[in-house]
Chain A
């Protein structure tokens, strides 16, 4: 399957089975040991390619030759790092393992996998007091967060889970076991909610897609795809303009997927957004993270699309699950931890040339019209309200 989860690829690497990734263009598979090392380490990866990007690339099955070279170079640069002796491996239960298990499920978002893994932590816990359990949970979530510091949804999902599970009056039980089962119940519930979030967003957004409309989408967002798929199933008549989504060409994938559903689709290069904005009725984008201001952090290019759309008075809709709400508040583009990615320019680039390799940008809330979340259709300013209520 095209949208096979990253974990498939990663796990295959783990099993030392060199696989040929169908979409990677004539690139040799990476030396499996290096990949395994990189991905099984519980610590933030010191190499210049962020774990965020690796995950993302793996999710979309796109591994460019440049990336592979960089990855290998990175491993060569830190040859003495031995991640196998991590504290997790000594324990019978590893949250990372669990996390990776969950991630093997296709279509399961990273954050949801993390939430499931944390629920499993509670289940497997041998703690005898609530405090102990909470500490154990905290440790597990920290491990998960450290696994990929650049992923906003992973961090946010872990935080929200901790909040949702531990901040409850159910903890007032005198009996530990009943309290634990209550917490587990909540954890399962949270996992369920998160799982169904995408479906719910798709339902909510149907009212906004009218017959004959033209929708511009950017990159490949599984939520946006779900929305469009649902709309197509509902026999809505609409047209989709897909941006190319350089450099990992995620837009091309989306265009292909939509074509399979018989949705009229047109592919644009990323720089043609302003050119074709005239014929666009609405813009749909996904989000890696929704920050406190109500703005979003998303794949590079979202900001400029939002700016163009704002300039032409077109609505910009964001589809994002509520576990992507993060307590972050970037003031500007540089106020983020950059998630770097390799960029494959077709022509050789001299080393003197500096390349902007950030994988995502920040779109301020004033350029967004509405956010479709599983909490409902929100204006950007409500995000902060929800966050305050969740965290305070």
Chain B
């Protein structure tokens, strides 16, 4: 991997040079354009950046505090920039453009302001210690109240300067004769043109995502060895190269779904090519270092601004990604359906580029979208299976089909998948599960599993007399949503937190649980806390029924919840929203002796599961491999 990437970094400048000289000429004729763009783009700055607590996307702390190589230089560059003059300010903001350079301007402007925003920090320290400082700052953002990146946090004078600087940056740039600045200007014009085209055509121009990601990689790479001045030139360069690395490259670069995040070199690499610049949490629990952990909510505004930048990203995919990121779409089925529907849109709007075959190009495209979605939030097993299905279908499309036929076939395939594997499957599960509910039952459920909710509602429709115990846990409190819906239908409910589980378990007759996935050793991988509920139920000899669609089954075997999991926002457990009086940990979030572990999932051993209810009927956990086998056979054959 390393050996392949290194030469590319060396080769790149050449390509960039070529691009620079050839494409710069025609663009320079449209010198008037930047102004309107700049004025158009200024509103997003004011609306977006204060809205969320975003942090500089440039500021990615390394996985561990001591292991950064890119950072000091960038920080130093910024520091140096701050030491110069207002004009060089805009200069330094330009330097960062390549991260999203072929783009409409909103992202760019905010990006510029990002850089400036942490200039004070950078300048306050000599270049060496910046890394840890910056990292510390990044993790402490919410605590210190530096929730917005924006102008607000800058020294007032400075920020105004910046604003004005941006307003008339084209003029100031014109006065300058530096090569880099001219280049930057052309850059802006080209972006404006692209944006206009995108808006007018309504269709996404087939510029690859790879180019964007790739350029940022290169920018970071080349930034390292050079001095500040050089850095500007070099970093600005790669963006010139249009449609450079294709989706294929991006696909190769895409982080492995189960990447080990404690492998420093890989993380650094993945970081560089990431579209979503997530801020990593600092104090991570030793055992879970291999999992990605990010400060939540920090990257959303940044991504929103990037909406117009990521030309190759289909808007539907982008939207879904953002929804994953913000947590608007949660729950295995909802996420999977949203993703599949986005893919349907993608297929609908797809047109095969010349000299390419649909089968291959589409697969590459889907892969690039998937890697984007992974950056937003790690994939669930269900999504992984759905993606495998889609890719399989694409690969199996007969060559003889015309493009429109192939597209129609794909769309209907995806539709069928959604219907059969999720919607109908749920109905079948409900049909089976309802037979297990008898009059007088006390059913316990944990969290807010959709399948279980459907079961309960159906049982209620059938006028079965039962009581529901909804067990919930901090910080998500999803059970309350379920509770709300159940009560609305007139089901007799009790609500409690998981702390009381051993107390209430004795009155329970059956436990119904949902699952994120079921692994082939019968392990149920589900919302954290499920294992606890299942174990207590087992100790009380209460049967535990897991409702899970068969498309969530996976042939993987997992013995614990450590090696594969998802880490949530540590802040979610460190503080209670709206309860200032019990937020004892305020100000301690940065303490190196304090680590937060907010796990999202856990693995319930099959011993504690009495039955798994799937669309193939009610099976013991020992039969999961059989279903996986049959299910995959079906996938391959059909």
Q: How far is the CB of B636 from chain A (nearest CB, A)?
A: 16
Q: Are A293 and B626 closer than 8 Å at their CB atoms?
A: no
Q: How far is the CB of B541 from chain A (nearest CB, A)?
A: 9
Instruction: Give CA–CA (A332, B611) in the complex, Å.
Output: 12
Among the stretches B300-308, B382-390, B490-498, B614-622, the one at the interface with A is B614-622
Q: Are B623 and A391 closer than 8 Å at their CB atoms?
A: no
Q: How far is the CB of A327 from chain B (nearest CB, A)?
A: 7
Whether a CB of chain B sits under 8 angstroms from the CB of A331 is: yes
Q: Most A CB atoms within 10 A — which of B510, B543, B619, B622?
A: B622
With beta carbons under 8 angstroms apart, the residue of B436, B610, B617, B622 that contacts A327 is B617
Chain A: CB-nearest residue to B618: A329
Q: Are B610 and A331 closer than 8 Å at their CB atoms?
A: yes
Chain B: CB-nearest residue to A294: B620
With beta carbons under 8 angstroms apart, the residue of B436, B618, B622, B630 that contacts A392 is B630
Whether a CB of chain B sits under 8 angstroms from the CB of A148 is: no
Contact with B along A282-294 (1 / 0, CB 8 A): 0000000000111
Whether a CB of chain A sits under 8 angstroms from the CB of B627 is: yes
Whether a CB of chain B sits under 8 angstroms from the CB of A335 is: yes
Q: Are B630 and A331 closer than 8 Å at their CB atoms?
A: no
Q: A331-B543, A392-B630 are in contact. Are A384 and B510 (CB under 8 A)?
A: no
Note all chain A residues with C-beta closer than 8 A to B436: 331, 335
Q: Are B616 and A381 closer than 8 Å at their CB atoms?
A: no
Considering the complex, which residues of chain B in the window 582-638 have a beta carbon less than 8 Å from any beta carbon of chain A? 610-611, 616-620, 622-623, 626-627, 630
Whether a CB of chain B sits under 8 angstroms from the CB of A365 is: yes
Contact with A along B305-346 (1 / 0, CB 8 A): 000000000000000000000000000000000000000000
Note all chain A residues with C-beta closer than 8 A to B619: 292, 329, 384, 388
Q: Are A381 and B617 closer than 8 Å at their CB atoms?
A: no
Q: Are A381 and B610 closer than 8 Å at their CB atoms?
A: no
Contact with B along A63-82 (1 / 0, CB 8 A): 00000000000000000000
Whether a CB of chain B sits under 8 angstroms from the CB of A385 is: yes
Chain B: CB-nearest residue to A386: B626
Whether a CB of chain B sits under 8 angstroms from the CB of A389 is: yes
Note all chain B residues with C-beta closer than 8 A to A385: 623, 626
Q: Are B617 and A332 closer than 8 Å at their CB atoms?
A: no
Considering the complex, which residues of chain B in the window 345-361 have a beta carbon less than 8 Å from any beta carbon of chain A? none
Instruction: Give CA–CA (A292, B545) in the complex, Å.
Output: 14
Q: Are B623 and A381 closer than 8 Å at their CB atoms?
A: yes
Q: Most A CB atoms within 10 A — which of B545, B626, B627, B630?
A: B626
Q: A331-B510, A331-B610, A332-B543 are in contact. Are A292 and B620 (CB under 8 A)?
A: yes
Q: Are B626 and A388 closer than 8 Å at their CB atoms?
A: yes
Note all chain A residues with C-beta closer than 8 A to B620: 292-294, 329, 365, 381, 384
Note all chain A residues with C-beta closer than 8 A to B622: 294, 381, 384
Q: How far is the CB of B464 from chain A (nearest CB, A)?
A: 14
Note all chain A residues with C-beta closer than 8 A to B618: 292, 329
Number of residue pairs A-B, CB distance < 8 angstroms: 47
Q: Are B627 and A388 closer than 8 Å at their CB atoms?
A: yes
Chain A: CB-nearest residue to B630: A392
Q: Are B611 and A329 closer than 8 Å at their CB atoms?
A: yes
Q: Are B510 and A388 closer than 8 Å at their CB atoms?
A: no
Chain A: CB-nearest residue to B610: A331
Note all chain B residues with C-beta closer than 8 A to A381: 620, 622-623
Q: Most A CB atoms within 10 A — which of B545, B611, B618, B623?
A: B623
Instruction: Give CA–CA (A251, B555) in the complex, Å.
Output: 46
Q: Most B CB atoms within 10 A — which of A327, A381, A391?
A: A381
Note all chain B residues with C-beta closer than 8 A to A384: 619-620, 622-623, 626
Instruction: Give CA–CA (A331, B623) in the complex, Å.
Output: 16
Considering the complex, which residues of chain A in the window 255-310 have a beta carbon less than 8 Å from any beta carbon of chain B? 292-294
Contact with B along A375-391 (1 / 0, CB 8 A): 00000010011001101
Instruction: Give CA–CA (A115, B141) in the complex, Å.
Output: 74
Note all chain B residues with C-beta closer than 8 A to A292: 617-620, 623
Q: Most B CB atoms within 10 A — which of A329, A391, A392?
A: A329
Q: Are A392 and B616 closer than 8 Å at their CB atoms?
A: yes
Q: Are A388 and B623 closer than 8 Å at their CB atoms?
A: yes
Note all chain B residues with C-beta closer than 8 A to A389: 626, 630
Note all chain A residues with C-beta closer than 8 A to B626: 384-385, 388-389
Considering the complex, which residues of chain B in the window 498-516 have a beta carbon less than 8 Å from any beta carbon of chain A? 510
Q: Most B CB atoms within 10 A — which of A332, A381, A384, A391?
A: A384
Q: How far is the CB of B52 from chain A (nearest CB, A)?
A: 48
Q: How far is the CB of B496 from chain A (nearest CB, A)?
A: 23
Note all chain B residues with C-beta closer than 8 A to A332: 543
Instruction: Give CA–CA (A163, B282) in the complex, Å.
Output: 59
Considering the complex, which residues of chain B in the window 215-269 have a beta carbon less than 8 Å from any beta carbon of chain A? none
Q: How far is the CB of A16 from chain B (nearest CB, A)?
A: 42
Chain A: CB-nearest residue to B432: A329
Q: How far is the CB of A368 from chain B (nearest CB, A)?
A: 12
Q: Are B617 and A391 closer than 8 Å at their CB atoms?
A: yes
Instruction: Give CA–CA (A332, B537) in the complex, Å.
Output: 14
Instruction: Give CA–CA (A332, B623) in the complex, Å.
Output: 19
Q: How far is the CB of B124 from chain A (nearest CB, A)?
A: 65
Considering the complex, which residues of chain A in the window 304-352 have a beta carbon less than 8 Å from any beta carbon of chain B? 327, 329, 331-332, 335
Contact with A along B538-562 (1 / 0, CB 8 A): 0000010100000000000000000
Q: How far is the CB of B55 from chain A (nearest CB, A)?
A: 51
Q: How far is the CB of B352 from chain A (nearest CB, A)?
A: 37
Instruction: Give CA–CA (A384, B627) in the complex, Å.
Output: 10
Write the residues of chain A forming the contact surface with B, with a CB cutoff of 8 angstroms. Answer: 292-294, 327, 329, 331-332, 335, 365, 381, 384-385, 388-389, 391-392
Besides A329-B611, A331-B610, A388-B630, 17 other A-B contacts (C-beta < 8 A): A292-B619, A293-B610, A294-B620, A294-B622, A327-B617, A331-B510, A331-B611, A332-B543, A335-B436, A381-B620, A381-B622, A384-B623, A385-B623, A389-B630, A391-B617, A392-B616, A392-B630
Return 6 A-B CB contacts under 8 Å, by A number: A293-B610, A332-B543, A381-B620, A384-B623, A388-B623, A392-B630
Top 6 nearest A-B pairs (CB, nearest first) are: A381-B622, A384-B623, A329-B618, A331-B543, A385-B626, A293-B620
